[in-house]
Amino acid sequence: MASTKKAQFDAKKTLEKIEEQFEMFQILNEQGEVVNESAVPDLSDEELQELMRRMVYSRILDQRSISLNRQGRLGFVAPTAGQEASQIASHFALEQEDYILPGYRDVPQIIWHGLPLHQAFLWSRGHVEGMKIPEGLNILPPQIIIGAQYVQTAGVALGLKKRGKKAVAITYTGDGGSSQGDFYEGINFAGAYKAPAVFVVQNNQFAISTPREKQTAAKTIAQKAVAAGIPGQLVDGMDPLAVYVAVREARERAINGEGPSLIETLCYRYGPHTMSGDDPTKYRTSDLDNEWERKDPLVRFRKYLENKGLWSEEKETEVIEQAKEDIKVAIKKADDTPKQKVTDLISVMFEELPHNLKEQNEIYQAKESK
């Protein structure tokens, strides 16, 4: 007969002990007040203004991208509004020699790293010129296969380590992406090799229509780092200063040879999953939307900077106008890019064309010259 003795293993306590290690890191509250004085990063006034400038710019880029998509002047667009702190402040913590392996929603990060705007638009439209990476720019094209960027990041980071470079590989996925095998393999490989990688999970709480709670019973995604034996941190993803500090510290640990980190940024996307027919009103309430709009990273950072006398409506208008102008110029440049031909596609398949493609190249050359 089975024993009815009390179990020796306190399962509930085990879970609670794990969860209490992953409390949310925050510096600015919703009102733009500093709630964690000792953690405030050492950023100059100019740097703080530049961070705000980039966040505002990115919000405008999102609004314009959605509208250009509706006009049929852009193709694939994954809205980013709401994630400015998570995307832009994390990027702000990087150096130019760091590599970015973005997901499909992470176009802003690679733009700020140096990808020309018109190329980002060409990528959205589906043009070979879009992700022709400028010489020396350490980015990859947005990854469509959720999780693939994680295993690749382990490789990039190992490469940096082997070359003895003081740089990191940073990658991004969403809450849904943390359910993939490649997510786990990526952080585990980087951990096993003590490679300089920063893994960011932007938990915007919905993977298309599936709420975060349906992905996992784990209380936080940050605690998944435990499975890889690496540090994990839950951060207020609507707080630019907290995100900046978390990534900066992860970067420091990485370049000091202490290995990778996993950072969960708790955030929200105001728009649909993508502009390809997703309707968030089917799975999200307006109450929830409103709750998260109150947490808007722009609102709290604006208040923070205004209180310091570092931001004004005038400054913001200037950024907005600049963004609109840049976008107009970039769209025009994208429009002016020559149309793709099959021979263009053939030419970028291999260094040296194999027999079948040589043959097909001739056939298409003849067609194209008609």
Partner 1 sequence: MAQMTMIQAITDALRTELRNDENVLVFGEDVGVNGGVFRATEGLQKEFGEERVFDTPLAESGIGGLAIGLTLEGYRPVPEIQFFGFLFEVMDSVSGQMARWRYRTGGSLNAPITIRSPFGGGVHTPELHADSLEGLVAQQPGLKVVIPSTPYDAKGLLISSIRDNDPVIFLEHMKLYRSFRQDVPEEEYTIPLGKADVKREGKDLSIITYGAMVHESLKAADELEKEGYSVEVVDLRTISPLDVDTIVASVEKTNRAIVVQEAQKQAGIAANVIAEINERAILSLEAPVLRVTAADTVYPFSQAESVWLPNYKDIIETAKKVLTF
190 and 198 Cβ atoms separated by less than 8 Å: no
In 3D space, the residue among 285, 356, 271, 278 whose CA is nearest the CA of residue 83 turns out to be 271
Stretch of 17-25, 130-138, 271-279, 317-325 lying at the interface with partner 1 (CB under 8 A): 130-138
Stretch that binds partner 1, among 157-165, 251-259, 260-268, 301-309 (CB under 8 A): 157-165
d(CA 274, CA 356): 37
Q: Does the protein bind partner 1 through residue 150 (CB under 8 A)?
A: yes
Task: Answer yes or no whether residue 169 interacts with partner 1 by CB under 8 A.
Answer: yes
Cβ proximity to partner 1: between 148 and 267 the closer is: 148
Residue among 184, 193, 270, 283 flagged as catalytic: 283
Neighbouring C-alpha atoms within 13 Å toward the C-beta of 126: 6
Can 113 be counted among the known catalytic residues? no
The count of residues in the chain is: 370
Q: Characterize the bridge pairing of strands 210-211 and 206-207.
A: antiparallel
Let me know: does 237 contact 266? Beta carbons within 8 Å: yes
Cβ-contact 194, 157 below 8 angstroms: no
Nearest residue (CB) to partner 1, 128 versus 218 = 128
Least distance to partner 1, CB of residue 173, Å: 13
Nearest approach, Cβ of residue 150 and partner 1 (Å): 7
Compute the CA torsion angle 89, 90, 92, 97 (nearest 10 deg). Answer: -170
Helix axis angle, 148-163 to 181-192, nearest 10°: 10
Footprint of partner 1 on 173-192 (CB under 8 A): 181-182, 185-186, 188-189, 192
Which of residues 197 and 323 has its CB atom nearest to partner 1 in the complex?
A: 197
Task: Give how many residues touch partner 1 by CB under 8 A.
Answer: 46
In 256-353, at which residue ranges do the beta strands (DSSP E only) sit?
261-266
3-state SS assignment for residue 299? helix
Q: Which two tokens stand for residue 303?
A: 């208040």
Considering only the stretches 14-22, 55-63, 143-151, 298-306, report the one whose residues sit in contact with partner 1 under the rule CB under 8 A: 143-151
Which range of residues in 17-25, 67-75, 139-147, 303-311 is near partner 1 by CB under 8 A? Answer: 139-147
From 105, 118, 212, 273, active-site residue: 273
Amino acid at residue number 81: A
Cβ closer to partner 1: 257 or 325?
257
Q: Does 130 bind partner 1 (CB under 8 A)?
A: yes
18 belongs to the binding site for partner 1 (CB under 8 A):
no
355 in active site: no
**AA identity, residue 22:** F
Q: Shortest Cβ distance from residue 293 to partner 1 (Å)?
A: 36
Q: Among residues 269, 284, 300, 302, which one is catalytic?
A: 269
The CB density around residue 177, as the number of other CB atoms within 10 Å, is: 24
Binding span for partner 1 by CB under 8 A among 203-211, 219-227, 252-260, 343-351: 343-351
Closest CA to 52 of 86, 82, 84: 84
State yes or no: is 269 an active-site residue. Answer: yes
Quote the CA–CA distance of 30 and 239 in Å, as a whole number.
8
d(CA 216, CA 220): 9
Q: Of 201 and 234, which has the nearer Cβ to partner 1?
A: 201
Choose, by CB under 8 A, the member of 17, 70, 162, 214 that binds partner 1. Answer: 162
Tally the C-alpha atoms within 13 A of residue 64's C-alpha that lie toward its C-beta. Answer: 20
Which residues neighbour 338 within 8 Å (Cβ) at sequence distance 6 or greater? none
Complex with partner 1: residue 161 or 269, whichever CB lies closer: 161
The minimum distance between CB 268 and partner 1, in angstroms, equals 29
Residues that bind partner 1 (CB under 8 A): 99, 128-135, 138, 140-141, 145, 148, 150-160, 162-163, 165, 169, 181-182, 185-186, 188-189, 192, 345, 347-351, 354-357
